[in-house]
Amino acid sequence: MTPAALFDGIVQGTAAVQRRAMSKTITLLESTRTDHRAQGDALLTALLPHTGKAFRLGISGVPGVGKSTFIEALGLYLIGQGRRVAVLTIDPSSTVSGGSILGDKTRMEHLSVHEKAYIRPSPSGGTLGGVAEKTREAMLVCEAAGYDVVIVETVGVGQSEIAVAGMTDMFVLLQLPNAGDDLQAIKKGVMEIADLVVINKADLDKNAATRAEAQITSSLRLLGQHGNPENAHHDTHLWHPKVVQISALLGQGVDAFWAAVTQFRQLQTANGRLAARREKQALAWMWERIDAGLKQAFRQHPQVRALLPQLQADVAAGRIAASTAARNLLLAQSQPAQAAI
């Protein structure tokens, strides 16, 4: 399919045509070939005016917390309300192994076959930054195709939560009703960026879930008080992170969860923070890609490649100060490349 045909398929195709065009477009965007990249950039720019209307929901939690079951229950609930739902994943393990543990569509067996749902696994290979970039672009494709809710899912390990929070309108952290789990989330800086904390599997032990809710509510208040003064808990124009208990397996609490999401969305739209967040995210994303590009070009520069091994060894052995080595390498890169030969 030509880029023009992909554009038409995404923006005005039937459900089946649309999904095929989306998948082909996302594959094109994931390609590292220069000509594909140029086509992908042009297509993305053409699609942009059709994006931005979906609600972007980030969901994270450690393995075993029940993300798949929760997203399946949530997706089917939203479809039941007449909405179309897309699910994308950022899987840090896929950047290492080249294969995604989250990519298995059979995890969400009812949602994955529903014509109002679109599920795309994490692109494999590359760095977390690269995977995150492809997922951001895939999100825009889903929006151009008119999906109402785009869910970006990640496992609660490493830096991927920060990446997901940095591309979504709302970041939801799934927790188990276990003591100490909230400390891990605080430690990783994930509790602090959560707009909503969901205690899943609340049916297993109601008392533990209630204790966890009290504990997390208290942590969120302390983090908010001491942190950004804008989070002051008395201002009703601002969102104060909430905790809700659910049982995704039993389908309990999904409606209360969605009510909280809707409340958040309305508040953030009214106070202008949703638009401001998206603007800030887009600029941060641009600079992140610039940084990655600069570093890649630096490492590939012939004179840097020629000098780096010895300078790294000298720095490690304490024969040259790190800042001196850095200046030497930066100077080498600024010389014409042919001088290295």
- Phi/psi at 196 (5° precision): -150, 135
Q: Which stretch binds a copy of itself (CB under 8 A): 76-84, 195-203, 207-215, 313-321?
A: 313-321
By beta-carbon proximity to a copy of itself, the closer residue of 266 and 324 is 324
Does position 157 interact with a copy of itself (CB under 8 A)? The reply is: no
d(CA 280, CA 262): 22
Please report where in the chains the tokens 């659910």 appear, as a residue. 246
Does position 15 interact with a copy of itself (CB under 8 A)? The reply is: no
Strands of the sheet with 55-61, listed across from one edge:
117-120, 85-90, 149-155, 55-61, 170-175, 196-199, 242-245
Token digits for 212?
């966890």
Does position 291 interact with a copy of itself (CB under 8 A)? The reply is: yes
Does position 5 interact with a copy of itself (CB under 8 A)? The reply is: no
Q: Is 253 left (phi over 0), alpha (psi -120 to 50) or beta?
A: left
Does position 334 interact with a copy of itself (CB under 8 A)? The reply is: yes
Strand partners, 196: 172, 242
Does position 162 interact with a copy of itself (CB under 8 A)? The reply is: no
Does position 32 interact with a copy of itself (CB under 8 A)? The reply is: no
- Is 74:151 a contact under the CB 8 Å cutoff? yes
Does position 285 interact with a copy of itself (CB under 8 A)? The reply is: yes
d(CA 7, CA 232): 45
Which of 15, 241, 288 lies closest to 145, judged by CA?
Answer: 15
Residue 306 beta carbon to a copy of itself: minimum distance, rounded to whole angstroms: 16
d(CA 107, CA 112): 8
Contact flags string 86-105 toward a copy of itself, x per CB under 8 A: --------------------
By beta-carbon proximity to a copy of itself, the closer residue of 110 and 305 is 305
d(CA 131, CA 112): 21
Residue 258 beta carbon to a copy of itself: minimum distance, rounded to whole angstroms: 26
Does position 109 interact with a copy of itself (CB under 8 A)? The reply is: no
d(CA 239, CA 191): 15
Residue 276 beta carbon to a copy of itself: minimum distance, rounded to whole angstroms: 10
Which of 259, 77, 286, 275 lies closest to 169, judged by CA?
Answer: 275
Does position 142 interact with a copy of itself (CB under 8 A)? The reply is: no
Does position 152 interact with a copy of itself (CB under 8 A)? The reply is: no
Kindly state the number of chain residues that form the binding site for a copy of itself, as judged by CB under 8 A: 56
Of 103, 238, 278, 302, which lies in the binding site for a copy of itself, with binding defined by CB under 8 A?
278
CA dihedral 66→137→160→209, nearest 10 degrees, is -30
By beta-carbon proximity to a copy of itself, the closer residue of 269 and 312 is 312
Site for a copy of itself in 224-243 (CB under 8 A): 226-227
Of 187, 229, 230, 236, which lies in the binding site for a copy of itself, with binding defined by CB under 8 A?
187
Q: Using CB under 8 A, list all residues that contact a copy of itself.
A: 37, 41, 44-45, 48, 51-52, 133, 136-137, 140, 180, 183-184, 186-187, 189, 191-192, 219, 222-223, 226-227, 278-279, 282-283, 285-287, 289-291, 293-295, 297-298, 311-312, 315-316, 318-327, 329-330, 334
